[in-house]
Structure 1
Amino acid sequence: MGAIFEGLANKEIMMKPEMSILGDQVVIQAGGTFDITCRGLAAITWTWGMGSAGSRARILEHPCSDNPLVTCNQLTIFHTEAGDTGYFTCSYKDVADIRDPNSKTSVYVYVKDDNQVFVQTYYNAPLVITVFPGTQEVVVPCRVTSPDVNVKLQLLHSATFSYGSQNWNPRKGFIVTRPSYHFYSTMLQCVAEVNGKIHKSFYLPQRLETKRENISIRYNHQKLLIGDTLFLQCVAETTFNGRIKLNWVFNRQDSKTTPRCCEIKRKLYQGSPVYKSYSNLTIWNVTMEDNGLYICREENNTALQANITIIVYST
């Protein structure tokens, strides 16, 4: 029955959940009814596919007929769809450590649909694949509804790209290591032919640039009289695909008594190779309350900031 493990409502569980399906995968046809049963010594919960079966799903839990001390939990999916493709996992409800491999069992279910080859098809609008700096491996997630489908990964145009390796996994899609610059130059397409019909799904890989530097504040006047207008401009630099959001910290930023005191406008200048992000702060009719320190900082990096002290005179 498997090894003993602890953590379920302070009880010992003598067995890992067992499924009625043997092996690690099964292929079924779309449009039918799918039944799967999980056995265990306590209450069981299910997760599967994209988790959107809704009223198409029915779960029945009862003592197993061959052993009343064991709980049988039967999951039924009616009118199966391509989007149900994925891991079906049964696990104990009240486990202290959900990472414990003895608390759950999974099987991968392909819901074969010749009219929907890809589990999720991105045709009218490509799926953006964000690639972080230093990432060596990029996954193009064109999962399929049948393990036998032959899929090709291509650039949208006739150009090609080089790579360290390119591996196909029908449960994940294409796994590409160290792709060349051309990989990011245009859209990608996963292409499959089934029964003479071509199926395509589009993807747009984008490298996210985290380089942020050279932050500074420009100003019209550092010393003002009451009633004057204060204008501050904060500037920071990044590169292609970089994103910077500049925030201001100052005395009246949350003012409720004079809500029209201030205005903040942001814009991005996309030059080459430097992108500049601007945040302009304007305060009309300054008062003595506007004396003090003004800080401009990048939202996700408090170390990247600049500041200036503004002095307001009464006369």
Structure 2
Amino acid sequence: MKTDFTFFCRTWIGIAYASGLVIGFSMTPPILDSSKDEIVIPVHETLTITCRGQRTLAWAWPDQTLVGQELTDRQAQLPTTRVPGQRVALVSECPGQPGRPYCKRLALTGAQANDTGYYRCYYKDVKAIIVGTTAVNVYVFIRDPKQPFFRRDAKNEDIRNGLETILIRHSTTHVIVPCLVTVPDLNVTLYAYPSSLDNSQMKWDNKRGWSIPRQLIDSAPMIIGVLCLATLEGEDFQSANYLIHTTGSQVYDVKLFPEDPVELIVGEAITLNCTAVVEFDTGVKIQWSYPGKLTNNWVDIKTQREALLHVTEAVSILTIHSVNVTDTGPYICNVTSIDTTLTQQTQVIVYEKPFISLSYRNGAVVEATAGQKSFKLQVNVSAFPTPETQWYKDGKLVKMKRMRTHHNHALEIKDVCQEDSGTYTVVLKNSAAALEKRLNITLVVNVPPQIHEKEIADLSSPYPSGSSQTLTCTTFGLPAPNVTWQWRAWGPCVLNSTQNRLVRRERKGRSDRISDCQDWQDISSENAANEIEPIETSAQVVDGRQKIVSQLKISNASVSVMYKCSAENKAWQR
């Protein structure tokens, strides 16, 4: 950053200006080349979808066994190689559009029935994936008349045999029968056995399956299972058989207390509580894993079970009466029911004795700039137990309202000023263990240059032609600023388009922005328009402060010219 001071050598000396620009940014969701909610392509054909957006893009697809391969521009033009039997989704770069410079194209050759589902394009570098904000979805049907029904997962034996189980929880209001289809307009009916269900209250969704109100199943005399039926091109098809089972086997939540890592000294006791919230009539097994499980005999494990209003709590309490350094490590609680396993873990750290370790974060000398809203003196601290923290400035305890100590032992200085320069000392104490560490940090506050002039020439009183004039530029800053002089011919200001817009925006309440002109030239003895003497710059005490005074002496003022002085230092540079 740089401070400018403009002189109008026709008759006047001008005034310096400062400006700032705030750039706003808004994010719009990516878009697809198809505006439809769903896409239908024949089986074995190639699926191609193009996505464009404002940031780096990525793709996700429904079949998790499908391998993704990113192609460079050159690779996209060459034949692809793949492992025999391996299916690959190819993702390549493509041309962007105004406002959406990023583009990713997904290509899937030989599409199969199992590729039916939601395809998602999202911003890769944004953690939150939200459809309509950072992502866009489209549902794709891979139309296969020979396989109108398909199953997403066929890993276990029951599914491969055409059987799946739908577990109904006590809180379930609607039961979803996931008869997934590849033909979007397929006429699907639901068959229940041995009792029938009232179809009028059920709803069909070709992307999810049948939705059955829970009360229909509860009111039926007996429902063992359901399946979906359809006829297509004169051929009958049926889905897998779905067995209906009401269960209390769900584990809703597992919490391990304390939740944060536990730190102790050798010989202290530790107690960990693992609490599982489960459905009624749910049997669970709670098991602990920890470093001293096979060797530490000073361990107690107690279990208890309590029925609450709507759920049951199963609790296991682990107590180690006297810890050792070898007990350091992860402590894991595993809660297992018939079909659910949830795990929580925490970290236990056992120290041999109290300690304090203190070191520099950013070195022994740090720099700030006057005018900063906030600046932190930070140090690296590793200690147990947490020590008392005190900060001193030049040997005196810090008590200023502008300064406060954070939990991480950092000292925050608000509204930084020149007077905050000095030597700061951080002292960490553990009085019970007679431990103390201290560290000195020197803070240097840099002050941006400011140009001060008490006398400004009257704008209506030109300098007489041929006269001798002295232009003075007085500036203060830390470190001492460097002063430079420039000139431009008298006439209209030349600005680039961006600065022109800024000048028009900021002229409200100002007479001009001459210092922003683009045709300023550096002054030299051969290039100054008027005859000048060598520029004299020196350090002088002005108004009780050490300042830099620079003088431009014009020995013969014969041409109307504007002169400008600029001051800069490490706190304010162009």
TM over 0.5, yes or no?
yes
Which residue of the partner structure matches residue 236 of structure 2?
A: 198
Q: Return the alpha-carbon distance in structure 2 between the equivalents of residues 123 and 149 of structure 1.
A: 24
Measure how far apart 1:110 and its partner are. 0.6
Q: Return the alpha-carbon distance in structure 1 between the equivalents of residues 315 and 28 of structure 2.
A: 56
Report the secondary structure of 2:147's partner residue.
coil
Instruction: Kindly tell me the number of residue pairs found equivalent between the two proteins.
Output: 235
Aligned: 1:73 with 2:121: no
Q: For residue 54 of structure 2, what is the amino acid of its counterpart?
A: L
Where do 5+ consecutive residues of structure 1 fail to align?
1-10, 212-237, 258-288, 308-315
Which residue of the partner structure matches residue 210 of structure 2?
A: 174
Q: Return the alpha-carbon distance in structure 2 between the equivalents of residues 142 and 69 of structure 1.
A: 38
Flag the structure with larger Rg: 2
Measure how far apart 1:144 and its partner are. 0.7
- Between stretches 119-128 and 172-181, larger displacement belongs to 119-128
Measure how far apart 1:299 and its partner are. 11
Which residue of the partner structure matches residue 152 of structure 1?
A: 189
Which residue of the partner structure matches residue 209 of structure 1?
A: 248
> Do the aligned partners of residues 246 and 184 (structure 1) sit closer, same or farther apart at CA in structure 2, a change above 3 Å counting?
farther
Q: Deviation per CA, 1:235-261: give whole Å up to 9, x if none.
A: xxx99x943025589xxx94448xxxx
- Between stretches 96-105 and 45-54, larger displacement belongs to 96-105
Measure how far apart 1:135 and its partner are. 1.2
Q: Deviation per CA, 1:94-136: give whole Å up to 9, x if none.
A: 1143236321111111110011111318572421112111211
Measure how far apart 1:185 and its partner are. 3.1
Q: Return the alpha-carbon distance in structure 2 between the equivalents of residues 38 and 22 of structure 1.
A: 11
Aligned: 1:130 with 2:167: yes
Instruction: Answer yes or no: is the 8 Å Cα contact 2:91–2:106 preserved in 1.
Output: yes
Q: Return the alpha-carbon distance in structure 2 between the equivalents of residues 185 and 91 of structure 1.
A: 42
Q: Deviation per CA, 1:172-225: give whole Å up to 9, x if none.
A: 0000112233486312111112222222221112112269xxxxxxxxxxxxxx
> Do the aligned partners of residues 100 and 83 (structure 1) sit closer, same or farther apart at CA in structure 2, a change above 3 Å counting?
closer
Instruction: Answer yes or no: is the 8 Å Cα contact 2:217–2:223 preserved in 1.
Output: no
Q: Return the alpha-carbon distance in structure 2 between the equivalents of residues 256 and 113 of structure 1.
A: 61
1:24 to 14, 37, 58: 37
1:118 to 128, 149, 156: 149
Q: Return the alpha-carbon distance in structure 2 between the equivalents of residues 168 and 69 of structure 1.
A: 37
Aligned: 1:57 with 2:70: no
2:302 to 264, 286, 295: 295
> Do the aligned partners of residues 32 and 247 (structure 1) sit closer, same or farther apart at CA in structure 2, a change above 3 Å counting?
closer
Q: Return the alpha-carbon distance in structure 1 between the equivalents of residues 120 and 130 of structure 2.
A: 13
Q: Return the alpha-carbon distance in structure 2 between the equivalents of residues 143 and 183 of structure 1.
A: 27
After superposition, where does 1:265-284 map in structure 2 within 5 Å? none
Instruction: Answer yes or no: is the 8 Å Cα contact 1:17–1:104 preserved in 2.
Output: yes
Instruction: Answer yes or no: is the 8 Å Cα contact 1:127–1:204 preserved in 2.
Output: yes
> Do the aligned partners of residues 156 and 46 (structure 1) sit closer, same or farther apart at CA in structure 2, a change above 3 Å counting?
same
- Between stretches 76-85 and 196-205, larger displacement belongs to 196-205
Q: Return the alpha-carbon distance in structure 1 between the equivalents of residues 101 and 54 of structure 2.
A: 5
Which residue of the partner structure matches residue 449 of structure 2?
A: none
Q: Return the alpha-carbon distance in structure 1 between the equivalents of residues 303 and 30 of structure 2.
A: 55
Sequence identity, in percent?
25
Where do 5+ consecutive residues of structure 2 fail to align?
1-23, 68-86, 153-158, 251-277, 318-574
Report the secondary structure of 1:147's partner residue.
coil
TM-score normalised according to structure 1 size = 0.63
1:35 to 48, 54, 71: 48
